[in-house]
A and B are shown apart, each in its own frame.
Chain A
Amino acid sequence: MTRYLPSSRAGKITTVVLIVFAIAMNPPVIGVVDAPALIAGIDLLYLWTVAWGIGISLVLIWAAWRDAFALTENQVPPELRESEDVATTETDAGDAVAGSGD
């Protein structure tokens, strides 16, 4: 089962945020904000969508920066890079996995 779950801290944090996002953007939770009402002059449902949309985009960019999910760049095996003249050296498996990817 562990092969399906992210092992890095960034991966775990991103997964939790994504689960919260999925709950927030779907019924029944979204029903809480779908009344015609204004917050700071903006419709509540629209504001909720924009806030979550921008927030989750930033989380994904952070996750990409932190290599939250596999396959990461350093996990591309050397034989696939040889044809492109990229020399590689193997690192400790633990270092690679702990630092990035799932």
Chain B
Amino acid sequence: MVSLQTTVALATIGVYLAIVLALGYRGWQVGTLDVDDWMAAGRGLGIVVLLFTFAASYHSAFAFLGVGGFVYANGIGIFSASTFYLVISGLILWIVGSRVWLLGKKHGYITPSDLLGDFYESPLLGKLVSLALIAFTFPYIATQLIGGGIIFETATQGAISFEVGAALFVVAGVIYVWLGGLRAVAWTDALQGVFMFGAMWIAGWFFVFSAYRGPQAFWTEVVREFGAYVSLPGPAGTITPAFYISFAIMTGIGVSMTPHLFLRYVSARSPRVLKWVAAFGTGYLILFYLPTAFLGLGAVQAFPDLAQADSAIPMVLYEFTPVWFASIVVAGAVAAAMSTADSQLHAVSALLTRDWYEAYAAEDVDEETVTRVAQYTIPVLGVISYVIAIQQFEFILLLTALSFYGAAQQLPILLGALFWPRASREGALAGFSLGIAVTAVIEFGVVTLPAVLPGFVSGFYGLLVNTVVFVAISLAVGGVSEDTLEDTQGYIDYAISRGWETGGDVTAGDVTTDDD
């Protein structure tokens, strides 16, 4: 006899998978076999779709499981830090993203390596950046599969095992990414973004009113009994001032520099789209987190001895809300994990094809062939990710610890390319390499920092070394060629120092429409 929980969870996940596959099919019908279309959705995403694909890609399984676990172990300090880092990401999307968009539109850039390799006149730097991003992003797909498999198994009470759940998860993702490329990813993300937000908000408020008769009774109880959870540095003493500041800065920068979000910068229809996505996306992401405080702290009160902190939110839901409702919300966690995994799958495929295959393929290789190669890599990446996920290869999964901090090492050299005329190839190569190296040796405990140093996160030390080395060497050796400067920073200056009014009938290219 199948329980109500299993039935509702299976039905919800089944309907959800059917819809995302249908959206992928529609993306395939609309799309064309060229690189811009498959990798950057034809550079035509409008405000609504880009808003949700940005927000849904930003949140991973962490938003549903990890943040509840973090609150359970360390209190609500993460909400203040996250509000700060979400604003950092919004500003990067607007100010950096719009300039990347301009250069992408002008020169056909799609990946970070396209822009950085070109500006610094260094294919080596382009390859180095690409390799680092692939190494840090690829294992992250496996962790999303692990999250997805756990959610399947939990929500269905074991009717679908971890291995089968992860397999269903990856097969569905591979199919719709293959079919529609970034357009399908963005459309499914829009669905996932709405589902995630609705599920989390309804669940949070449902819980606080059903278990406590409202937020005031809830907070009175929490402040009286669990004061350490609503003050810094939290019950475990983790959120020190140094950790707080460095964690927030590195997360805000790191997520913004991941390749799947970089692809959103070039896929916008216009800077106007990026501006509004930055403004509303920041608000969406900040609001998303707020009810998770109720659920995470609710677990502290109801289940003080949880073996796995990440199970805090599902435990609270199944204890305090109707089973059918909890099953629908937990199924929403599948959307959170899948919306990140599909974006990363697509982004790694784009990096492999654009930065490596195209670089070594024959010069006359056509767009259709390149796009086909990108599509072929998707199932291969899916299979490898699945094997890593079910075998849980420790070394590879350790790399996920570096994913945001490693990606963040791009920022100094990207800002150099967009804003600083003295930025040099030598400085960029040395700074980026050292930033990655310093982050890795600290993160993996190869060296132990003296106790006298503040307890910043590893990536922050890497970013400091990276920036100092990049600036110092660039000042010493001088910048890139005048022609390159003119093509990049000169073009940005040319754009922002004047304006053009749109005249005549605005039709196909109307930047104000949102039909995709």
Chain A positions within 8 Å of B, measured between CB atoms, are 3-4, 18, 21-22, 25-28, 30-31, 34-38, 40-46, 48-50, 52-54, 56-58, 60-61, 63-64, 67, 69-78, 80-81, 83-91, 93, 95-97, 99-102
Contacts and interface: CB of A to CB of B under 8 A. Distances in A.
B231 A18 contact: no
A32 to B, nearest CB: 11
Contacts of B80: 25, 30, 45, 48-49
B90 interface: yes
Contacts of B492: 71
Nearest to B290: A50
Contact of B496 (A31, A58, A70): A70
A31 to B, nearest CB: 7
A76 to B, nearest CB: 6
Contacts of A48: 80
A102 B505 CA distance: 28
Contacts of A60: 87, 90, 278-279, 282-283
B278 A80 contact: no
Contact of B506 (A43, A63, A86, A102): A86
A48 to B, nearest CB: 7
A96 B280 contact: no
Q: State which size class the interface on B falls in.
A: 35 or more
B279 A84 contact: no
21 contacts: A3-B419, A18-B91, A25-B83, A27-B241, A28-B241, A36-B227, A37-B223, A41-B219, A43-B76, A48-B80, A49-B76, A49-B79, A52-B83, A54-B286, A70-B496, A71-B271, A80-B102, A83-B509, A87-B504, A91-B498, A96-B499
A53 B83 contact: yes
A97 B500 contact: no
Interface in B214-230: 215-216, 219-220, 222-223, 227-228, 230
A44 B508 CA distance: 51
A77 B230 CA distance: 51
Contact of A77 (B283, B494, B503): B494
B87 A18 contact: yes
B219 A71 contact: no
Contact of A85 (B98, B215, B494, B507): B507
B208 to A, nearest CB: 11
Closest 5 CB pairs of A and B: A84-B509, A96-B499, A41-B216, A57-B283, A36-B227
B496 A75 contact: yes
B230 A74 contact: no
